[in-house]
Amino acid sequence: MPNPTTLPAWQALQAHHAEISKTHLRDLFAADPTRGTTLTAEAAGLYLDFSKNRITAETIQLLVQLANESNLRGRTEAMFTGEKINTTENRAVLHTALRAPKTAQIVVDNHNVVPDVHAVLDAMSAFAIKVRSGQWLGHTGKPIKNVINIGIGGSDLGPVMAYEALKHYSARHLHFYYVSNVDGTDLAEAVLGLDPAETLCIVSSKTFTTIETMTNASSARQWLLATLKDPAAVAKHFVAVSTNAAEVSKFGIDTANMFGFWDWVGGRYSMDSAIGLSTMLAIGPDNFRAMLNGFHEMDEHFRTAPYDQNLPALMGLLGLWYTNFFGAHTQAVLPYEQYLKRFPAYLQQLTMESNGKYIQLDGERVNYDTGVIYWGEPGTNGQHSFYQLIHQGTRLIPCDFLFFAKSLNPNGRHQDILIANVLAQAEALAFGKPDSPEPHRVFEGNRPSNMLVADQLDPATLGKLVALYEHAVFTQGIIWNIDSFDQWGVELGKVLANKIVPELESETEPALNHDSSTNNLIRRYRAARR
Ligand code: G6Q
């Protein structure tokens, strides 16, 4: 794969940027009164208005050319058909197989994986039905009331985001808790006041060796046994989601109560695998399958639609336009939907762990920026804190606004006021307020944004939204010529602490051979802890 800066389209974009970068959105809109309806795209019930971007029709044409010169179509086919495109780990990348219909054929190492996916889905569904209906009984014969998902990173952020996003559709007689941090406070606060006899723990870990998750799982087992006493209780109160059956049974969980997935599912791409078991327990198997169908619809759109009408490709390309040509560092994601309060945190992992890389596929260092920094909060809350900097700060921060036409909790004027705010913010950012005599009241405008609109937040729509961002990240990763599917930075964190833990725990003063700062901090911690 070529260094993208050597491609003709990249060079054409550089020249084009020099021509149009000073043009104001006010002028672009004045020059073309149809802009607000033409620079739009719609697919799978999602409407994208990208007219308030600092682009012309020529920009889109050149960005599409860049996608083509980077062989985005060919690389997409390689991903969907199970080629080992995660080269540093020699793995296929097949989260799209998790939502493929039963009849699909996706072959990895001479094996069609689709029946395996559906077998796990069926097992999850049977289990979810038992727990939700009260047929699954705890050790003392009580039905389950509380579900604790124990996992971290990709084994936490997707499940907790989806649970919050789809709470409206969840079984309200069940209470869900998400424990991720090895800080003892996380588990302590989650179990406070819970009856172990009515509690189910889902230990979610692809590897089943992650120190945070295994520490929390062991402490949760101790908490359970402190009340229920009998080790046989573990079988009724612990299930596992993992790819590592050997470690699951070593922990004491019957592998009959294990829901599997595969090495071709990356952690941050796993919320629609068995890692979504807590989601399925909350919203039920039918809603979970509706979510998968939503994912699949967006997959097919990305795979087949021309790029100038392709939502994920457009969003990926626009992000790249600002990163590499305008020098923007961050992208705000601003859902005007309270249920999506964890969506920005989820996207942070998806985008930053995937594309935060400086090594190209051929091992060369990049000589261009990669990896957009994602951040955000739901509107309207953010308006009362950080929007100031987006409006009048010195930095360029492209925004993704999201809203749904229908509220899941309609109440008087609330929704109209909410939507008036998101429309007004995007309008003010783009067009500003140039005519005040007082400089501090002037808003320059020319701040770009996307507006993503759907009818209502439901399981299918959530699936479409997540798949949209997954493929936008993929689009950028392909052009940046990096491996979006490894995470060596995370792996480093997993080994580093293991060296220090015994130095903190040892009874006798350990010999330390870190740098002077780390050595000193270890000594101070040991002294303070005593
Ligand atoms: C995700 C990352 C990382 C991972 C966690 C948990 O893509 O690989 O966030 O999900 O480190 O790993 P386990 O599921 O193996 O515990």
Task: State what percent of residues in the chain have pLDDT above 90.
Answer: 96
pLDDT band at 1, cuts 50/70/90?
confident
**What is d(CA 416, CA 427) in angstroms, rounded to the nearest whole number?**
16
d(CA 83, ligand 1 centre) in Å: 22
Residue 305 has pLDDT above 90, yes or no: yes
CA 391 to chain centre: 26
What whole-number distance in Å separates Cα of residue 412 and Cα of residue 396? 36
Residue 137 C-alpha to ligand 1 middle, in angstroms?
30
Phi-psi region of 450 (alpha: psi -120 to 50; beta: other; left: phi over 0): beta
Span 6-30, pLDDT tens digits: 999 999 999 999 999 999 999 999 9
Give percent of the chain with pLDDT exceeding 70. 100
Interatomic CA distance for residues 404 and 462, integer angstroms = 11
What average pLDDT does this structure show over 104-125?
A: 97
Helices and strands, counts by H and E, the chain: 20, 13
Average pLDDT over residues 484-496: 90
Contact between 276 and 433 (Cβ < 8 Å): no
pLDDT of the residue at 435: 86
Q: Which atom of ligand 1 is nearest to the CA of 268?
A: 7
- Distance in Å from the first CA to the final CA of the chain: 56
* CA atoms of 250 and 239, how far apart (whole Å): 13
Q: What per-residue confidence (pLDDT) applies to 491?
A: 86
Which residue is closest in CA terms to ligand 1's atom 16? 205
| Chain position carrying tokens 């509380």 | 146
pLDDT band at residue 210 under the 50/70/90 scheme: very high
Q: Catalogue the active-site residues.
A: 353, 384, 494
Tell me the best of 161, 207, 262, 496 to mutate to test the pocket of ligand 1, counting ligand atoms within 8 Å of each CB and taking the most.
207
pLDDT over 90 at 434, yes or no: no
Q: Mean pLDDT, to the nearest integer, of 466-490?
A: 97
* Amino acid 479: pLDDT: 98
CA of 494 to the centre of ligand 1 (A): 10
Query: Could you identify the atom of ligand 1 that is nearest to the CA of residue 242?
Result: 14
Rounded to the nearest angstrom, the distance between the alpha carbon of 491 and the centre of ligand 1 is 9
Predicted local distance difference test score (pLDDT) of residue 389: 97
**Separation of alpha carbons 450 and 53, rounded Å:** 7
Q: Write the single-letter amino acid at 353.
A: E
> For 243-257, 433-447, 487-501, which range has the lowest pLDDT when averaged over its residues?
487-501
DSSP symbols for 1-45: ---GGGSHHHHHHHHHHHHHTT--HHHHHHH-TTHHHHSEEEETT
Q: What is the pLDDT of residue 73?
A: 98
Residue 317 has pLDDT above 90, yes or no: yes
34 band by pLDDT with thresholds 50, 70 and 90 = very high
Both tokens of residue 176?
A: 């869900």
Of 218, 251, 258, 268, which is best to mutate to test ligand 1, by the most ligand atoms within 8 angstroms of its C-beta? Answer: 268
Residue 496 pLDDT more than 90?
no
In this structure, of 32-46, 291-305, 368-382, 491-505, the range with the lowest mean pLDDT score is: 491-505
Judge residue 256's burial from the number of C-beta atoms within 10 Å of its C-beta, 0-12 exposed, 13-18 middle, 19 or more buried. exposed
Residues with CB under 6 A from ligand 1: 152-155, 205-207, 210, 213, 266-268, 353, 487, 490
Q: Name the H helices within 432-515.
A: 459-480, 488-505
Q: pLDDT tens digits, residue range 374-422?
A: 999 999 999 999 999 999 999 999 999 999 999 999 999 999 999 999 9
**What are the residues facing 238 on neighbouring strands?**
201
Amino acid at 147: V
Q: What is the mean pLDDT of residues 312-331?
A: 98
Q: What pTM does this model have?
A: 0.97
Atom 9 in ligand 1: residue holding the nearest Cα: 153
Phi, psi of 195 (to 5 degrees): -95, 115
Tens digit of each residue's pLDDT (9 = 90 or more) over 58-97: 999 999 999 999 999 999 999 999 999 999 999 999 999 9
Residue 449 has pLDDT above 90, yes or no: yes
Q: What is the mean pLDDT of residues 270-275?
A: 98
Alpha-carbon distance of 344 to 466, in angstroms, equals: 11
